[in-house]
Copies of this chain bind each other. A is one copy, B any other.
Amino acid sequence: MMPFPLTLTHVLERCGELHAKTEIVSRLPDGSLNRYTYRDLYQRAKALGAAILKCGIGRGDRIATLMFNHHVHLESFFAIPTSGAVLHPLNWRLHPNDLAYIVNHAADRWLIVDDTLLPLLDAFKADVKLERVVVFSCRGSKAQSGFTDYEAFLETAPTGMGAPTPDELDAATLCYTSGTTGRPKGVAYSHRALVLVAFAMAMADTTAISQRDVLLQIVPMFHANGWGLPYAGAMAGAKLVLAGPGLEAATLLQLLANERVTVTGAVPTTLLALLEALEKDPDRARSCKGVRIVCGGAAVPPELIRKLDSYGFHVIQCWGMTETGPMATSSFVKREFEGVGVERALGLRATQGLTLPFVERRLRTPDGLAPWDGRVPGEIEVRGPWVAASYFNDPGAAGSWTGDGWLRTGDVATIDEDGYMRLTDRIKDLIKSGGEWISSIDLESTLMTHPAVAEAAVVSVPHPKWQERPLAIIVRKNGVAVTADELTAHLAPHFVRWALPDGYVFVDSIPHTSVGKADKKKLRVDYKDWQP
Contact = CB atoms under 8 A, between A and B. Distances in A.
A388 interface: yes
Contact of A1 (B3, B18, B190, B235): B190
A336 interface: yes
B204 A236 contact: yes
This protein's copies in its complex: 2
Interface stretch (A81-89, A209-217, A271-279): A209-217
A203 B192 contact: no
A334 B211 contact: yes
Contacts of A333: 212
Interface string A3-37: 11110001101100110011000000000000000
Interface string A149-188: 0000000000000000000010000000000000000001
Interface of A is mostly: loop
A204 B203 CA distance: 7
Interface string A194-214: 011001101111001111111
Contacts of A60: none
Interface residues of A, number: 61
27 contacts: A1-B192, A1-B193, A1-B385, A1-B386, A2-B383, A4-B383, A4-B385, A6-B385, A13-B360, A14-B355, A17-B419, A18-B355, A22-B335, A195-B358, A199-B199, A199-B357, A203-B210, A204-B208, A204-B209, A205-B212, A205-B236, A211-B332, A212-B338, A214-B335, A236-B357, A237-B334, A238-B335
Interface of A: 1-6, 10-11, 13-14, 17-18, 21-22, 169, 188-190, 192-193, 195-196, 199-200, 202-205, 208-214, 235-239, 332-336, 338, 354-355, 357-358, 360, 383-389, 405, 418-419
Which 7 A-B pairs rank lowest in CB-CB distance, beginning with the nearest?
A204-B210, A199-B199, A4-B385, A18-B419, A1-B193, A2-B389, A212-B335
